[in-house]
Amino acid sequence: MTTITRFAPSPTGRLHVGNIRTALHNWFLARKSGGKFMLRIDDTDAARSKEEFVDAIRADLAWLGLHPDGEERQSDRLELYDAAFERLKAAGRAYPAYETSQELELKRKVQLGRGLPPTYDRGALALSDEERAAKEAEGIAPHWRFKLDHEGPIAWEDGVRGSVKFDPAQLSDPVIRRADGSWLYMLPSAVDDIEMGVTDVLRGEDHVSNTAVQVQMFEALGASPPQFAHEALLMGKEGKLSKRLGSLGCDAFRERGLEPEALIALLARLGTSQPVEAISDRQALVEGFDLSTFGRAPAKFDDTELDRLNAAIVHQLDYADVSARLPAGMEEAGWHAVRPNLTTVGEVDDWWKLVTGPVEQPEFTDEDRAYLALADEALALAFAAGADPWGALTATLKEATGRKGKTLFLPLRQAFTGMNHGPDMGELLPLIGEDEARARLASAAAA
């Protein structure tokens, strides 16, 4: 049977790293078995759902390279939910309830005060037909609950948590439809998983109790539940991640100049027993994906680690990977020269200015100016000597002056680049070129 996974965000905000991790792991799970990864837009909440967020979700997945094999929108599937709802009503598994939110809150307080779990007491089931009719005559529209079967435990083998069991008597019959006819999450999600042929549901551990309810929904609708796996939540510096943490969204990562492969490499293994490494080979990450390596403890997302991985990924990028993103005139030799000094590709412009100039040179001592004047005289011969003018120049100056180490190299680097550190001068000097290099030495010697 073909593995089919789904990522089902609500378009009520931008994706954050917790959402992205869920999408990535579902993509891995599908790709590892040659299956399908589906995008489902959970937009039944018309008041909060916005089309701009639908577009943003698609753009974020595209930037990450997590291309869905199909897309569904819940707002286009309302007839399916109506049909499933009518089946549940006919089977006695969906029933109307009339309590207000204030009445339900009072019941919860009473139960807690008695040391009981604050579950719904099924008071609506005790109403007679006449009592229901009277409430509706008063203008009280019912909300609808799914009636859980209390006979026997709800159990499944979880891909991360192992054997999971719930006592249904300890759960509230969930509200599945509001009084205004709009849907809550539970039933549409189960219906979609059935209709879309979803075989594996991988999501956060905050959905475990939802899964217990939905297992019975699948069975009530005559379907076998998919394989479930619930991974530990991803934590940020401020605790649980949320859509309010804009700095942890794809748009913010793009603005920082981070590579999608760095984010993928971090989230692929964060919270598992496998080491987090700067792996840019997506297929290697797919092949290594294994739910048995997932831990139960919350994993902490660390921006510092992401920056470290990003620098390592950038240092692996070939010229062909970045050529369209480089300054005009910068060719492969230039990329190779500055690449080791980059933490993001966006920094390349600043480093390339060391070649194109102008550079701001420091003030030199009289002794160093004399040394740089000598270097100016030797530079033409160094360039004429072959492909390594830097090596030829420093060898000549070492023999002529007896300088070595920092006193030999640093004044030259400062004259050529205005900096105390930077790219390998052996690669940089040929890019600067003989004429420009001599002009910089002459300027430094005369300062």
Q: 216-228, pLDDT tens digit by residue?
A: 999 999 999 999 9
7-40: per-residue pLDDT in tens?
999 999 889 899 999 999 999 999 999 999 999 9
* Contact by Cβ (8 Å): 411, 385: no
What pLDDT score was predicted for residue 38?
98
In the numeric block, which tokens belong to residue 280?
A: 């840019």
Mean pLDDT for the stretch of residues 369-398:
95
Residue 132 has pLDDT above 90, yes or no: yes
Residue 405 has pLDDT above 70, yes or no: yes
How far the first Cα of the chain sits from its last, in Å, is 77
**Residue 442: how many CA atoms within 13 Å on its side-chain side?**
8
d(CA 309, CA 215): 40
Nearest residue to 233 via CA among 17, 82, 72, 385: 17
Residue 238 has pLDDT above 80, yes or no: no
Identify the residue whose tokens are 């217990």. Answer: 212
With cut-offs at 50, 70 and 90, classify the pLDDT of residue 116. Answer: confident
Residue 243 has pLDDT above 80, yes or no: no
Q: What residues does 231 pair with on adjacent strands?
A: 204
Residue 397 has pLDDT above 60, yes or no: yes
Residue 240 has pLDDT above 80, yes or no: no
- Is the bond preceding residue 188 a cis peptide, omega within 30 degrees? no
Q: DSSP assignment of 25-36, as one string?
A: HHHHHHHHTT-E
Residue 236 has pLDDT above 90, yes or no: no
In the numeric block, which tokens belong to residue 338?
A: 């500055």
144-192: per-residue pLDDT in tens?
999 999 999 999 999 999 999 999 999 999 999 999 999 999 999 999 9
Domains of the chain, earliest start first: 4-72+186-234 (3.40.50.620), 80-177 (3.90.800.10), 239-314 (1.10.1160.10), 319-355 (no CATH), 357-446 (1.10.10.350)
Nearest residue to 23 via CA among 203, 209, 275, 289: 203
What pLDDT score was predicted for residue 1?
83
Q: What sign does the CA torsion over 7, 12, 15, 16 have?
A: negative
* Angle made by CA atoms 224, 35, 192, in degrees to the nearest 5: 40
What rounded mean pLDDT belongs to the chain?
95
Residue 141 has pLDDT above 60, yes or no: yes
With cut-offs at 50, 70 and 90, classify the pLDDT of residue 60. Answer: very high
Distances (CA, A) of 83 to 80, 179, 285: 5, 18, 41
User: Helix 389-401 crosses helix 366-384 at what angle (to 10 degrees)?
Assistant: 130
